[in-house]
Chains A and B, each alone.
Chain A
Amino acid sequence: MDLSYTAAEEEFRNELRSWLQANIPAEWKAPGFWESLDDDESFRLRRDWERDKALAGFAGIQWPTEFGGRGGTPGMKAIYDVEMVLADAPRTVNPLGLTFLAPTVMAIGTDAQRKEIIGPMLRNEVIWCQGFSEPGAGSDLAALTTKGVRDGDDFVVNGQKVWTTNAVHGDKIFTLVRTEQGSQKHRGISMLLIDMNQPGVDARPLKQMSGASEFGEVFFDDARVAATDVLGEIGEGWRTAMLLLSFERGASGISQYTEFRRQYDEIAAVAKALGKDEDPVLRGKLARVLTELECLRLHSMYVLTRTEQGKDLGFEASMTKLQWSEAFQDLWEVYDDILGEDATLESLSIDGTDFDLRPMNAQAMWSRSVTIWGGSSQVQRNVTAERVLGLPR
């Protein structure tokens, strides 16, 4: 058992921490700052800040230097994720590109794609969206019907994608398209890299139950894409998608723990302020959530260990998703329990002091989404039961 990081990793932590301290304006950390901005302004600020961070060398932590990355260790990536949370750093505006597309391009992209995609993504010159889900293809992704018909050197694409993160800010979208007409299920699909800034692509925001519009829907109406703008082979899009999704299995649990543990401490402080911290039922509920969060922390150390050993977690990744998403949702249910009827209020006066509850409410609303996106809890349980435990399909 050795739960420490190497000297080089700790040195990296110090460098990153210094940069973050010097480069995150104080007002950005003020309560309500980000909520006070309109969506475009918020996106622009984060986009530019993230570019500067990349230029300072704090991006693509684990990527090879030949691709503009830092060539760091899995431990450095875990440290990076944690320090970003601790510094209240803005969230990335290019999450789908950075997490999924870039490593896939490094693995199976052409030399031209590696050159054209990775650098501009790191500098946020191109914001990438993911075009997977459709109105009729959610958990059953292979039911997708968006089609691409060959026309000379291009594919002409028609159909609709939905739940697309950053849809209205996107420049390009890696999209699963049925390019073999009449094909069934996971056959005959290609992953096309489609320019969203063209007349045939229309992105519209979708307002979420929280009131925010982080995602949207994307309509393709005779959109054109060169047949060479395919990631992996034509007709092998499902294989490409499975490879791409496998890159979610990183060591992000440690930063999620860091974030959720801070939220736990905030919620415990609310319980105290309201004089509910001696209520034995609420104490038991808080402790139950804390237990799951501590387990998440330990599990992420286990995952990091496996990653450093070069072992693929494979279908065990479903367990990570279940653990963090269910624990996070439970945490915010306890928050609601503590506030009771007042949980829905935008502000609350305690001993003459007004507390703005909107950031808490936003988390509580967001917590309903995490057990759906990225594979619902029910899908994860099926995967765990069938692929890990070996129960029959």
Chain B
Amino acid sequence: MFFALTSDQQEFGAAVRGYLADRFDTDAVRAVVDDQDGDGHPASLWKAAAEQGWLAVTVPEENDGLGLGLIEAQVIARALGAGVAPGPWRGTVLAAEAIRLAGSDEQKAAWLPRLAAGDAVGAFTLRGATPGTLPNVEYGAVADVIVARSGDGLALVEKGAFTATPLRSYDGTARVASVEVEGAGEALPGATAEVAAELEARATVLVAADLTGVAREALSRTVAYDREREQFGVPVGSFQAIKHALADLHVGITMAEHASLYAAHAVDEKQDDAALAVAVAKAKASDVALQATAAMIQYHGGIGFTWEHEAHFFYKRAKRLAGQYGDGDAQREKIATLTI
């Protein structure tokens, strides 16, 4: 029995966290948040993502990737969530996953090495279809290629074949756009319903992992603050009303971490319970991230409600991602269908 990350996987996560702590901390995130008209796609961070293999993680080795699995990808996603990091990492990885699973050899050769190297930015959405409107695409405005639904399948839409209009979102740690696609795009020939479902599962796991990172970091920062902050002559973290709430969050976040790790494994291994595992992971991650980030504001008191404090980065990111690919209630309906 080995239900854990290997030392290589742990090191991968530690490297991402280490980079963000040293080179892209919450001050750097703040610059992105405050620059609302900017593209939210810092060049330094993108360069690091390319150089350190964050983008190449699931791309096959024959396409210049690392050939690793969803477990490694969710390790990166969790670290990026903990850092409330901006940038089109997830869209690029998911576009590459779509091409890997459903693309022709020509499409793979054309796109996978570029996506893996950060030479092309990818985006991925399952809302809307081509031709038509894709209503809410993460980093649609900087994408070189978007993978979206088209008829019963999936299509690639290249830059030039779509028009992206940035949407204002209160989650300043990312950028989203509404995308108009005139043509159908270039079909991914292998995009069966099964493959589309697997891609949705992969996307859902990566969002769940981001949320667990958000939640864990929100809790850690709150614990650190409440150990120091004194009222009534004692640290507020010594009050049981706060202790018990934070203890429950620790348990819940730990469970969410287990659940996204297991879901990644179940999807990679095509286990029978993969659909259930993914729904469980997203339900748990969505709920606990909303709880932990709301608690972060509450247990910082007034300072937590200010623009100056970073709590709102976490809270707003959780708000957006909790609903992506189905919120807790939507996942629970899937769970009910699978188990009742």
Question: Chain A interface (Cβ within 8 Å of chain B)?
Answer: 1-5, 75, 78, 264-265, 268, 271-272, 277, 280, 283-284, 286-288, 290-292, 294-295, 298-299, 301-302, 304-306, 308, 319, 322-323, 378, 380-382, 384-386, 388-393
Contact A391 B71 (CB under 8 A): no
Contact B1 A287 (CB under 8 A): no
The answer, among A302, A319, A392, for a CB contact under 8 Å with B3, is: A302
Contact A305 B2 (CB under 8 A): yes
Most buried by A among B226, B251, B254, B277: B251
Contact A391 B243 (CB under 8 A): yes
The answer, among B1, B4, B243, B333, for a CB contact under 8 Å with A386, is: B243
In the complex where A1-B71, A284-B333, A284-B336 touch, is A389 in contact with B247 (Cβ < 8 A)?
yes
The answer, among B256, B276, B284, B340, for a CB contact under 8 Å with A272, is: B340
Measured between alpha carbons, how far is A226 from B223 in the docked complex, in Å? 50
Q: Which of B198-206, B258-266, B313-321 contacts A (4 or more CB under 8 A)?
A: B258-266
**Could you write out 14 A-B pairs with CB less than 8 Å apart?**
A1-B4, A3-B3, A288-B283, A292-B255, A294-B277, A299-B255, A380-B247, A382-B243, A385-B247, A389-B223, A391-B235, A391-B237, A391-B238, A393-B238
Which chain B residues in 239-272 approach chain A with CB under 8 Å? 240, 242-244, 246-248, 250-251, 254-256, 258-259, 261-262, 265
Known: A78-B1, A286-B340, A291-B280. 20 other contacts (CB 8 A): A1-B4, A5-B1, A265-B339, A284-B329, A284-B332, A291-B284, A294-B276, A295-B256, A295-B259, A298-B255, A301-B1, A305-B4, A319-B250, A378-B240, A382-B247, A384-B247, A385-B246, A391-B242, A392-B235, A392-B237
Which residue of chain A has the shortest Cβ distance to B340 in the bound complex? A268
Contact A287 B339 (CB under 8 A): yes
| A-B pairs with lowest CB-CB distance, top 6 | A287-B332, A385-B243, A295-B255, A301-B3, A283-B336, A287-B335
Which residue of chain B has the shortest Cβ distance to A308 in the bound complex? B1
Measured between alpha carbons, how far is A308 from B237 in the docked complex, in Å? 35
Contact B244 A378 (CB under 8 A): yes
Complex contacts, B329 vs chain A, CB 8 Å: 284
Q: How far is the CB of A258 from chain B (nearest CB, A)?
A: 15
Complex contacts, A287 vs chain B, CB 8 Å: 283, 331-333, 335-336, 339
Contact B332 A288 (CB under 8 A): yes
Q: How far is the CB of B280 from chain A (nearest CB, A)?
A: 5
Measured between alpha carbons, how far is A46 from B3 in the docked complex, in Å? 35
Q: In terms of DSSP, what is the predominant structure of the interface of chain B? A: helix
Number of A-B contacts (CB under 8 A): 139
Contact B335 A298 (CB under 8 A): no
Measured between alpha carbons, how far is A71 from B1 in the docked complex, in Å? 18
Q: Say if the beta carbon of B15 comes within 8 Å of chain A.
A: no
Question: Chain B interface (Cβ within 8 Å of chain A)?
Answer: 1-4, 71, 223, 226-227, 234-235, 237-238, 240, 242-244, 246-248, 250-251, 254-256, 258-259, 261-262, 265, 276-277, 280, 283-284, 329, 331-333, 335-336, 339-340
Contact B223 A75 (CB under 8 A): no
Measured between alpha carbons, how far is A304 from B1 in the docked complex, in Å? 7
Q: How far is the CB of A339 from chain B (nearest CB, A)?
A: 16
Q: How far is the CB of A342 from chain B (nearest CB, A)?
A: 19
The answer, among A268, A286, A382, for a CB contact under 8 Å with B240, is: A382
Measured between alpha carbons, how far is A380 from B247 in the docked complex, in Å? 9
Which residue of chain A has the shortest Cβ distance to B329 in the bound complex? A284
The answer, among A272, A280, A298, A388, for a CB contact under 8 Å with B250, is: A388
Measured between alpha carbons, how far is A388 from B280 in the docked complex, in Å? 25
Q: How far is the CB of A338 from chain B (nearest CB, A)?
A: 11
In the complex where A286-B336, A304-B3, A389-B223 touch, is A381 in contact with B254 (Cβ < 8 A)?
no
Which residue of chain A has the shortest Cβ distance to B235 in the bound complex? A392
Measured between alpha carbons, how far is A298 from B227 in the docked complex, in Å? 31
Complex contacts, A284 vs chain B, CB 8 Å: 329, 332-333, 336
